[in-house]
Amino acid sequence: MSAPTLDALVSLCKRRGFIFPGSEIYGGLANTWDYGPLGIELKNRVQHEWWKRFVSQRRDMVGIESGILMNPKVWEASGHVSNFGDPLVDCKKCKQRFRGDKLLEEKIGVEGAAVLTLEQVQPMLLAEKIKCPSCEGLDWAIAKKFNLMFRTQQGVIEGEGADIYLRPETAQGMFVNFRNVQQSMRKRLPFGIAQTGTVFRNEITPGNFTFRTREFQQMEIEYFVAPGTEGPIFEQWKDDMWQWCLDIGLAPERLRIREHTKEELSHYSSRTIDIEYKYPWGWGELYGLANRSDFDLSQHQKFSGQEMTYTDPDDPTKKFLPYVIEPTFGLTRTVLAILLEAYEDEKLKEDDTRTVLHLKPIVSPYDLAILPLSKKEHLIAKAEELYKKIVQSSGLHVDFDVTGSIGKRYRRQDEIGTPKCITVDFGTLGEDTAQGEKDTVTIRDRDTLKQERLTIADLLKHLHPPTA
């Protein structure tokens, strides 16, 4: 299956209610996107699966939900005020701004661009003759560091409120609550804290649909370990993250692991790997895994004046700052990768193609669709009765679609990735044995297109929520 073009996916997402351009009726707001009825179902399912796998089903994990707004000192301690920025270059001719490192990536590679110092960016752009993507000029200003945090004001009186930031990562909420969580939950090392939520970054060059946006969602884990034990734990998380990618339906040939070079490491990290996905425009980051050592806890201890140490329950004389392994997952980026992976324009016959999303059942917006063959009232009533039974007995998410020909409805369900369709017809009612026996229905498989006739009793017996 070849990767779809981004345009094809964007069009399907709008047409079928997955993702809409933000504020569209006002002409939009660049690079903002709203999740529609099916997009939110898919995203919620990914988040739910993630939480189930990494929090609910593990004794060594707990979750929290911290605020988006935090004391500004948090961001001084974390290093975001001084270090969280990208090299920005202005085109002197058309006054447009770009990320200098991104402009250079094609010429000198991702790793090469990531290690450039601020002073090197403009001379390198000129040496490599990189033209302005907007006006094709070659007149770059000196690069400046641009802090990516969104700044806002707290308080009702303009000008009198304190400057605060919208959080650029969920991680710090977990670090500042380390002692609260450890003590209230009586956790022993190693243990992890997880949270999911919205973060904000004033990206200089957002784009590629939802790949890089200024508002997005993360699912992060801070896994606290005794110093010296982090090596094998890092490897285990690498394997667990890889397996997660496979279980949500990403193909191994479109996944790879990239180790960060020393020069490329973030200010807090002593080792980082990225799990990269092959997007239609090339390889790019999907997830990250970092060894943050005791950087964050020691910084918060220093800036807050509060002790952040852990006391060994077996030997209370041993007090130390735990090390942290951080598996980080972009939720909105996961949704994009899943959709890209699942999309296919499939040729069925010489003159017949269909668009289909081969979504894994654990993430598809609907588990099933019930399609009454015609709009006859008593047939719809029978289909509705079945709908209620299925929803109440299995907890599955079921679509009910009566509009259009049965062929068109099958195609619509293929496009939104519904794994199975159930057709209720006059056979089901006992009115037409040519269609089937009384109290039987047709079940159609999205991927194989095979249709089977089975009794409603058998159907109900075999329905259960999908598992990875």
Report the interface residues with ligand GAP, using CB under 6 A.
169, 171, 201, 203, 212-213, 216, 218, 220, 285-288, 326, 328, 330, 332-333
From residue 295, give the alpha-carbon distance in Å to each of 291, 367, 395. Answer: 10, 44, 44
- Chain-centroid distance of CA 125 in Å reads 33
- CB closer to ligand GAP out of 22 and 466: 22
Alpha carbon distances (Å) from 118 to 31, 142, 143, 156, 266: 26, 9, 6, 38, 15
Cα angle vertex 285, ends 282, 286, to 5°?
110
Q: Are 335 and 210 in contact (CB under 8 A)?
A: yes
The smaller minimum CB distance to ligand GAP, of residues 169 and 344, is found at: 169
Nearer to ligand GAP, 32 or 455 (CB): 32
Which strands make up the sheet holding 144-147, listed edge to edge? 97-99, 85-90, 144-147
User: What minimum distance in Å lies between the beta carbon of 335 and ligand GAP?
Assistant: 10
Nearer to ligand GAP among residue 201 and residue 420 (C-beta): 201
265: tokens are 């490491």
* Cβ at position 94, least distance to ligand GAP in Å: 24
Q: Among residues 17 and 79, whose Cβ is nearest to ligand GAP?
A: 79
Minimum distance of ligand GAP from residue 331's CB (angstroms): 8
**Residue with Cβ nearer ligand GAP (272 or 440):** 272
Rg (C-alpha) for the chain, rounded Å, is: 26
Phi, psi of 223 (to 5 degrees): -105, 115
Query: Cβ of residue 257: shortest distance to ligand GAP, in angstroms?
Result: 13
Could you tell me the two tokens for 157?
């009186």
Q: How far apart are CA 281 and CA 128, in angstroms?
A: 21
CA distances from 170 to 214, 218, 230 (A): 14, 7, 22
Residue 295 vs 343, nearer CB to ligand GAP: 295
SS3 160: coil
Q: Which residue of this chain has its Cβ atom nearest to ligand GAP in the complex?
A: 330
Residue 2 CB, nearest distance to ligand GAP (Å)? 24
Nearest to 390 by CA among 410, 416, 366, 415: 366
Contact partners, residue 292, CB within 8 Å, separation at least 6: 222, 268, 269, 270, 323, 324, 325, 326
CB closer to ligand GAP, 265 vs 454: 265
Contact (Cβ atoms closer than 8 angstroms) between residue 333 and residue 211: yes
CB of 337 to ligand GAP, least distance (A): 9
Asked whether the beta carbons of 326 and 314 are under 8 A apart, the reply is no
Shortest Cβ 86–ligand GAP spacing (Å): 11
- Nearest-approach distance from CB 419 to ligand GAP, in angstroms: 26
**Least distance to ligand GAP, CB of residue 353, Å:** 32
**27 in helix, strand or coil?**
coil
Q: Which is nearer to ligand GAP, 33 or 410 (CB)?
A: 33
338: tokens are 């899943």
Shortest Cβ 420–ligand GAP spacing (Å):
31
Residue 229 has φ and ψ, to the nearest 5°, of -105, 5
Nearer to ligand GAP, 328 or 442 (CB): 328
